[in-house]
Amino acid sequence: MKVSIITVCYNSAETIEDTIKSVLSQNYQDIEYIVIDGGSSDETLDIIDKYQDRIATIVSEPDKGIYDAMNKGIKKSTGDVVGILNSDDFYESEDVISKIVCCFDSEIDVVHGDLIFVKSDNLEKVTRFYSLPNFKPWKLRFGWMPPHPATFIKKSVYDKYGLYKVNYRISADYEAFVRFLFVNKVSYKHISKILVRMRDGGVSTSGLKSSMTLNKEIVRACCENGVYTNLFFLTLKLPFKLLELLKRPKADD
């Protein structure tokens, strides 16, 4: 099984080398690595060029935002499975791809694992553990979704049901999950392993304004797919999120 990993970036010189190294250090052999840059003006491209002989595809040009860049990468991918790793995230260990490949078969279209948030200035300091072992598609109505960087999707799902919608600012990945998992009922599986470390401070977790935009886009994503929800439904998950903040990964994870 060939796995395509896509990293999209823009002026990511401070973090992208960690991302690239975590992909290139994977012990699974059949990986196609694709980097889509939005036309960076800092040293991002210099860092990418250091590894160009091990990156299958490098594109650097203006885009219409992060989801447009992801779509470019998916269109260029030739793998059976696609994973998207953002330029400030990195894989937890060198066997992440090996672990997820073992979960795929002819019956499984999506595999999602666990993710931990870490301090941007201390990558060993865990601030949040994000795991949805009991995820069901109906929970999307209440704002729950698998962590996108720790989710791997068969290319055939994108081919059949479409790419990310570029008219979303934060939640095009959420809309895609609603479309794939809820509406079209693609098969999925959870792996109880930490797959990705994500630095705090991403656009979807940056303050009240981003939270409001996120929630409005979640409601819109459901409504556009004929799935009923509302802002009140989304508030019902807050007590569970407080419990989630108390979770910490086990040492052997």
What is the rounded CA–CA span in Å between residue 164 and residue 68?
A: 7
Two structure tokens written together for 141: 């109505």
Check: CB of residue 244 under 8 Å from CB of residue 229: no
Q: Is the pTM of this model over 0.85?
A: yes
136-159 burial, b for 16+ CB within 10 Å, e for fewer?
ebebbbebbbbbbbbbbbbbebbe
What is the SS3 assignment for 252?
A: coil
* Per-position pLDDT tens, the chain of length 253: 999 999 999 999 999 999 999 999 999 999 999 999 999 999 999 999 999 999 999 999 999 999 999 999 999 999 999 999 999 999 999 999 999 999 999 999 999 999 999 999 999 999 989 999 999 999 999 999 999 999 999 999 999 999 999 999 999 999 999 999 999 999 999 999 999 999 997 654 555 678 889 999 999 999 999 999 888 878 877 666 656 555 555 434 4
